[in-house]
Structure 1
Amino acid sequence: MKKHTWEPLGTLESAVMKVVWSQSPITAREVCDRMTGREERAYTTIMTTMDRLHRKGLLEREKDGLAWRYTPALSQPEFEKALADALAADILQSHGETALAAFVDAAADVDESLLDRLTQLIAARRRGRR
């Protein structure tokens, strides 16, 4: 798969991907049937959303009779990592030193052990590993 710069997903796209990540391969009809409550949408809306996710490179598909059967192009953790990488790179490129200080402050505010993990990740990166 070609390298993408991923964008955050919209509410409906996130709901669809959550279903696909949990139960694939899957058709648009099956996704529609599994979405309830506030997530519930018309079949054509789900079908259009899944086609858009396919064009964005997040879903792969194969013809199954008259329908498409979709699978995720990335696992949920892979997508979250790629999205976080792209967002972090954008923030660091735009805000440099200020962004670094904000990451450190945020890590300390969330959980002090994240600072230790940040130190380990920096050391590993300097050694050429991730």
Structure 2
Amino acid sequence: MQLGELEKQVLQYLWETEVADAKQVYAYFEKRRGGSLNTIQSTLDRLFKKGLLKRDKQGHAFQYQAAIERDTFIGQLIKGLTSEFNADKGNSLLAAFTSVSPEFNEDQLERLEQIIEDQRDKNKSDGSV
């Protein structure tokens, strides 16, 4: 899935803020990058149509929030990108991961080990292994 720069920034803002209407999003970005309320409303609508935002009508305005967690979204992007370059998704994901793993610090490596162990435990309890 391709996202424009403003779409990425708005999504990041909503991950941090959790819920906001178009005027709140506009007020935040007006100070940082300029633009119009109409541009923000269009961006929110595009993100909603892409399934990345949820919205709930409150009075005359929609309240927006992320429809997907940040880590899940990043994982989907990585899977999608690696599958575009190689039909063997498992190996391409591992290759992509190993190409960036030298940049990890000790804390990140320990966290990764814990995530892997948790996934192994989950696979065992699900009977996936």
TM over 0.5: yes
C-alpha distance in 2 between matches for 1:104 and 1:25: 32
Q: 2:4 aligns with which of 7, 10, 24?
A: 10
Paired residues in the alignment total 119
- Alignment of structure 1 residues 41-80 onto 2, 5 Å: 41-80=35-74
C-alpha distance in 2 between matches for 1:21 and 1:29: 17
Please provide the CA RMSD for this pair.
3.4
1:68-101 deviation digits (Å, cap 9, x = unpaired): 001110011111111111112222228998x579
C-alpha distance in 2 between matches for 1:64 and 1:104: 42
C-alpha distance in 2 between matches for 1:65 and 1:103: 46
> Structure 1 residue 37 and structure 2 residue 23: aligned?
no
Contact 1:25–1:69 (CA under 8 A) maintained in structure 2: yes
Contact 2:18–2:66 (CA under 8 A) maintained in structure 1: yes
- Shift in alpha-carbon separation, 1:65–1:94, aligned structure 2, 3 A: same
More helix by share: 2
1:12-67 deviation digits (Å, cap 9, x = unpaired): 101111111111221011001111333x3200000011011101100111111111
Identical aligned pairs, as a percentage? 28
Which amino acid in 2 is paired with 1:58? Answer: L
Give the secondary structure class of the aligned counterpart of 2:87.
helix
TM-score by length of 1: 0.69
- Shift in alpha-carbon separation, 1:86–1:101, aligned structure 2, 3 A: closer
